Structure 1
Amino acid sequence: MDIRLFRPGALLPAVLLAGCVTASKPPKPYLPATEVPALAETDPVGTGNADAADDPAIWRNAADPAASLIVATDKKAGLYVYGLDGKVRDFVPAGALNNTDLRTVRMADGSSRILVGASDRTDKAEPRIALFSLDGARAKLTGLGSDSFLPAGHAPAEAYGFCMGAPLAAGELARAYVVLKDGTVMESRLVERDGAIVPEYLRKVKFATQSEGCVVDDATHTLYVAEEDVAIWRVALKAPVLAGEAVAHVGEADGLVDDIEGLAIARDAGGRGWLIASSQGDNAYALFDLGTGKFAGRFRINGGAIDGTSDTDGIEAVIGDFGPQFPEGLFVAQDGDNAPQAQNFKLLSWREIREALGLR
């Protein structure tokens, strides 16, 4: 089942005036934000002198929180595993993996597995989902294959954003969402078949322009998608037809300066939750209360012994105990300018973000 979203004026043709001089674009606004320092950073990705680091995911080790892990993409080369000290624990050369997500799934034999997925755009005409198994104790990744999920007859397309959500029907391990570069979001279910985990296409929703960041709120079975120059959209996943409802727009009222990039959900043990968005255009992060839908504040990563961030693509947040340095939770953000080294990821304490923004 498909639906396409339009806004007033979306179908008007663009008019180009030959011989006219186009005025330079005005600078993007730099909106107020509270500064919060990074407490740690990862080793740089291996691809230097390029836009390479992109998107992180967090695995919390409940038995030993300080031994938790971060999985993150070098979108030119593959997938990294980092410890909370920022040191590389593993790297898998796996091609052009753009966005990543992970979750613990229950297999048919009753065992559990830390399943890592990523949007694979190694072939820019045939989007794929690359899957891996993460050994939390050894901090090692094992490749499970990369499979196409496009339905028969679909036009060539480039995989871009990626996120996973809880299963919504019997026999599923999880739901997977790939955001194509043209704004189409493809929903698949991940299932076991002949000893392998594979995606099976289900349905899609189409946004009007380029989109990438996405995240699923399992508590409400809601998908959030960032249409980069326009808005954050909310999609009810249990509805018979996927449809988008705008919840925040580019502009000062919602604290967002285009591009809107990575999205993350942070929920505490009491059920209180926040949607976090990378306001890439002014190097900041905007929060929205998931209970009220209201804008809840903005922060920038700056100050302290570690440099700040700029041009952030992917982000991730998990509330919970991550050891003495991150006692209430962990926030991870890609840094688009880590000069003179290659790009990397910055680690922040959720407690410091919460206190800085007065979140209760």
Structure 2
Amino acid sequence: MTPTVITQTFEEPADADDPAIWVNPRDTERSVVLGTLKEGGLAAFDLNGRTIDVHPAPLPPTPDAKPGRYNNVDVLGNLAFVSDRGRDRIRVFQVDERGARDVTNPDTKPVFSKTEAEVDDQHTVYGLAAGHVNGKDVVVTSRRSETSIALLHVTRNNGYDTKKVSTVDLPDTFTLPNGKSWTVCGEPGEGPQVEGMVIDERTSTLYAAQEDVGIWRIPLRANGFGKPQLVDKVRTFGAPQKYDPETEECEADGPNPGFGGQWLEADAEGLTIAGDVLLASSQGDSRFVAYRKTDLKPLKDFRVEGVEHSDGADIVVGKLNLLVVHDGERENGTGFAFIRHNLSRWGL
């Protein structure tokens, strides 16, 4: 698959990560693509990939505190919700054809951290998805270095805010078909986190990609979660690994017993839905996998030319017919790639 256009390249401290598409209800050709840039903030692009504006992430509240760091973004109506990993907040932006405007309640509180000191431990909001479920506007956000996912209600109070109403914890240890117990490898004190997520409003379902495990399907209600079901696994699921403090990476510690899936190379990352298709980023080998949503049967996989190690993705089909993916390995930085043609031939 060949990109139609690419955005500018963002260099450090900006670091592109996750896109979201706002469809202009009056003129689809004046729709806007948003993209998180971590410490670089939130960017808005037109459909030609030109940068409309960039909203910087918040400065640290004290010299020793962490600055804002925008990780993931999703759009619901004319609002964009952003996970501020640096400050453990959900930021809210009003979107129109001119770009985005911050409408977050200035008194918004941390989602997972009980104190500002705990915020700086950075077990904070990470992945994010927004949707309309059982009559409620909701945001779902995961927790960095943990297995927790929180359900938040969108509220309006001196701007927009979110209220946490429920959490669910995914496992970090699994019983394998041979009866052995397998714990996901990670840096000491850090669990197997979720980042890529998407809400299927038609079925009230959350799909969540646990990076070193696979894709979960979780029933979603306005006030809580149903029982999570692991519907596809990464290839290294169940493989023995050990953490190497010198490389700060997990490395193989024995043969792969073959209990994992066939399609996803860890990390399992960005998720997005096009009709009856769930699209997932297989970040470890720079591919995308399309699944039939009803039974998570893999349909096909593909690469996007020039795009490596993609984190987030978003898609809109119909009159706009646009796929946007994170481009994680440019020569001097990162950016986003837009694909606007021949999506139907890929089953999207």
Give the TM-score range, shorter chain: 0.7 to 0.9
- Does residue 158 of structure 1 match 2:124? yes
- Does residue 96 of structure 1 match 2:79? no
The aligned counterpart of 2:314 is: 316
> Are the equivalent residues in 2 in contact too, given 1:277–1:286 (CA < 8 A)?
yes
1:158 Cα deviation after fit: 1.7
The aligned counterpart of 1:32 is: none
> Are the equivalent residues in 1 in contact too, given 2:103–2:160 (CA < 8 A)?
no
Structure 1 residue corresponding to 2:85, chosen from 91, 108, 121: 121
Q: SS at the partner of 2:343?
A: helix
State how 1:249-268 maps to structure 2 within 5 Å.
249-251=233-235, 253-267=261-275
CA-based RMSD of the aligned residues comes to 2.2
The aligned counterpart of 1:354 is: 344
Deviations 1:310-339 (A, max 9, x none): 0111111111212xxxxxx11111111111
> Are the equivalent residues in 2 in contact too, given 1:258–1:279 (CA < 8 A)?
yes
- Structure-1 separation of matches of 2:17 and 2:132: 23
1:293 Cα deviation after fit: 2.4
* AA aligned opposite 1:248: D
The aligned counterpart of 1:246 is: 230
Q: SS at the partner of 1:62?
A: coil
- Does residue 274 of structure 1 match 2:295? no
The aligned counterpart of 1:131 is: 92
* AA aligned opposite 2:6: E
- Does residue 71 of structure 1 match 2:65? no
State how 1:1-360 maps to structure 2 within 5 Å.
36-45=1-10, 48-49=11-12, 52-94=15-57, 95-104=68-77, 114-123=78-87, 127-134=88-95, 136-145=96-105, 147-150=108-111, 157-169=123-135, 172=136, 174-181=137-144, 182-193=146-157, 195-207=158-170, 208=172, 209-238=192-221, 241-251=225-235, 253-267=261-275, 273-302=276-305, 308-322=306-320, 329-339=321-331, 341-349=332-340, 351-355=341-345, 357=346, 359=347
Q: Identity across aligned pairs (percent)?
A: 29
* AA aligned opposite 1:144: T
- Structure-1 separation of matches of 2:35 and 2:140: 17
- Structure-2 separation of matches of 1:76 and 1:240: 31
Total equivalences in the alignment: 286
* AA aligned opposite 2:126: Y
The aligned counterpart of 2:244 is: none
1:222 Cα deviation after fit: 0.5
1:42 Cα deviation after fit: 1.0
- Structure-1 separation of matches of 2:40 and 2:134: 33
Q: SS at the partner of 2:284?
A: helix
TM-score by length of 2: 0.77
Residues 248 and 309 of structure 1: CA distance in aligned 2, closer, same or farther (over 3 Å)? same
1:278 Cα deviation after fit: 0.5
Q: SS at the partner of 1:166?
A: strand
- Structure-1 separation of matches of 2:51 and 2:274: 25
1:248 Cα deviation after fit: 1.1
Q: Which has the higher contact order (CA 8 A, sep 6+)?
A: 1
Deviations 1:126-174 (A, max 9, x none): x21111111x2322423424623537969763221111111434xx4x1
* AA aligned opposite 1:96: R
Deviations 1:236-277 (A, max 9, x none): 01286532101111138541100001111112xxxxx11111
Deviations 1:195-254 (A, max 9, x none): 432111111111222221111011111001101011100110128653210111113854
The aligned counterpart of 2:63 is: none
> Are the equivalent residues in 2 in contact too, given 1:52–1:74 (CA < 8 A)?
yes
- Structure-2 separation of matches of 1:205 and 1:183: 8
TM-score by length of 1: 0.74
1:50 Cα deviation after fit: 6.0
> Are the equivalent residues in 2 in contact too, given 1:90–1:141 (CA < 8 A)?
no
- Structure-2 separation of matches of 1:99 and 1:89: 19
Residues 241 and 38 of structure 1: CA distance in aligned 2, closer, same or farther (over 3 Å)? closer
Q: SS at the partner of 1:176?
A: strand
